[in-house]
Chains A and B, each alone.
Chain A
């Protein structure tokens, strides 16, 4: 009986979540990442201009907080001076930031979504309402949590 209620609750949350999530982000722009200002804020030069890109759906430690430098280095290693593409999710009307998925386009690294990898490494937390279509952010965060990585390491998560 308890499982039934729990399942109904999960389904209700899933339906409500789907109702809040937009149809899908779209339209890529390819370029080179020329700066990593924060773990979730990078500059993409697309040849005719550049965008300051905020990674969608995640919060990373800020400067001075635990794992902040590690998160910054992680993102720099993935994208700095490398080819990548942004898929616009939306423009944040409060500060005009372009909130995007950032996907590597590099022969060595391959095609990986930076935000998902940051979560998988345990160096960020996901925000609610941005879990795309198949729960990718939640899955990556859960993997990090279960493995006790970064923010989820036993000592850090207390």
Chain B
């Protein structure tokens, strides 16, 4: 076979494979977004939002964000995220010192909504010396103080999951960074408003690390991911595991899941004063009928060439609760050398389909203006195959140089087949932003997931 013949044969083969792949992706395999909604629509910056949907009433959503001034932005929806109202319409905030709205807050929201209807809301107190957890059992209309954990604390996150653990049909796990080490407490949940005692403090004995994310397996194994704190060059993505959930056993690890070149304070053109970090995210496939029931997905930001500012969103998965990991695959599909950052992953528990949304500078030659993009994948196939990335935000946003840029993270809930990303936005695409600060903006993202790949023939 001559060289030319071999090239021709390869080209024909590649073209055939491409055609088969294209034909095998249904024409409807495409996410779509609607028009953006401005959740905050007020003066001052709102960013670093959490978003949660009630698993037993998908019309109910709750958004919770850092905000300028006292308290934190709190908004809820009763129509699936089409319109937003406020528990306290006078100032659109809670945890601001007003009675019945939780202890006064500094920042750093995290939300978790369980299948009993309990909405757990966590944040740091005014001077970041306590982790506060408040509870709403009426869709985010009213709140009661649940528990306070004191210490030199930061980066707290709460997650919930249905488990098979004895006495814990639902489990809440809270983790946070305390004096440089990741620690956690867990509690069983047995009904609406019925939260059991939290375990004693369990420490990873880690140091010099920054929290990424935490997830609970269907069997009650808790997995958290951490990355190096500080610096611009990154390092290992480490996994710690609590194998007995609400039991007395502590954290084991670390297990190295991979590496990233994104440091704990990595400055990029779009975030020149605040910086970004790897923003690892973890979700478990909790659908018993999924071909990958129990699979754990790890999403993170990497910079394949150190200090190139070409940040990519990457994904790995594990089929043994984080003990071993797949090779990395890229989530964003742009051909540019521009930044994708502040990603968030969320999984639709009944299906195992999952969505990833992120800030994307692919339309900004200067690498400074971002638009929110999303993609999704399902549990079919040996490895996830993502739908084409779609632009979700209706406008491009740049930092306003107030020091905080877009914040450290964005929010996303993907359940009942609809994704609800939320991010800090200055585009004023809605015409409702009263100033040049960031407003909390959201959208509804849906489409047919998973991608149905059939009739693949590779010769």
List A residues at the B interface (Cβ < 8 Å): 14-15, 18-31, 46-49, 51, 83, 85, 87-93, 98-99, 103, 105, 111, 113, 133-134, 136
Contacts and interface: CB of A to CB of B under 8 A. Distances in A.
State the 8 A-B residue pairs at the shortest beta-carbon distance, nearest first: A90-B403, A22-B404, A30-B180, A23-B66, A24-B107, A28-B154, A18-B69, A47-B208
B435 A29 contact: no
9 contacts: A19-B68, A25-B404, A26-B407, A46-B230, A47-B208, A91-B267, A92-B273, A111-B129, A133-B105
Interface in B104-140: 104-108, 126-129
A27 B44 contact: no
B275 A91 contact: yes
Nearest to A56: B403
Interface string B42-64: 01111110000000000000000
A30 B403 CA distance: 21
B265 interface: yes
B207 interface: yes
B272 A23 contact: no
A105 B71 CA distance: 25
B46 A133 contact: no
Contacts of A20: 402
Contacts of A22: 45, 68, 402-404
B69 A90 contact: no
Nearest to A31: B180
Contact of B127 (A15, A47, A113): A113
Nearest to A135: B70
A88 B68 contact: no
A87 B407 contact: no
B48 A23 contact: yes
A47 B230 CA distance: 10
Nearest to A85: B152
A28 B127 contact: no
A26 B179 CA distance: 15
B67 interface: yes
Contacts of A21: 44-45, 68-69, 402
B154 A27 contact: yes
Contacts of A14: 69
Interface string B226-269: 00111100010000000000000000000000000000110100
Given A29-B264, A103-B152, 13 more contacts: A18-B44, A19-B43, A22-B402, A23-B66, A24-B48, A24-B67, A26-B108, A27-B154, A29-B180, A48-B235, A91-B265, A91-B267, A133-B106
B280 interface: no
A30 B152 contact: yes
Contacts of B208: 46-48
Task: Pick from B67, B108, B154 the residue with the most CB of A within 10 Å.
Answer: B154
Interface string B79-109: 0000000000000000001000000111110
Contact of A29 (B70, B106, B230, B273): B230
Contact of A27 (B97, B129, B277): B277
Contacts of A51: 230
Task: Pick from A14, A15, A26, A98 the residue with the most CB of B within 10 Å.
Answer: A26
Interface string B151-163: 0101100000000
A91 B273 contact: yes
A85 to B, nearest CB: 6
Nearest to B107: A24
A86 B435 CA distance: 30
A23 B264 contact: no
A10 B108 CA distance: 28
Interface string B420-434: 000010000000000
B256 to A, nearest CB: 16
A18 B42 CA distance: 11
Contacts of B402: 20-22, 90
B127 A23 contact: no
B46 A48 contact: no
A26 B155 CA distance: 8
Task: Pick from A19, A89, A103 the residue with the most CB of B within 10 Å.
Answer: A19
Contacts of B65: 23
Contacts of B415: none
Nearest to A96: B267
A47 B181 CA distance: 13
Given A23-B107, A23-B438, A27-B277, A47 B207 contact: yes
B177 interface: yes
Contacts of B438: 23
B342 interface: no
Contacts of B45: 21-23
B70 A133 contact: yes
B173 interface: no
B66 A105 contact: no
A91 B46 contact: no
B179 A18 contact: no
B353 interface: no
Interface in B174-228: 177, 179-180, 207-208, 210, 228
A140 to B, nearest CB: 12
Contacts of B274: 88, 90-91
A23 B68 contact: yes
Contacts of A18: 43-44, 68-69
B437 interface: yes
A20 B48 CA distance: 17
B408 interface: yes
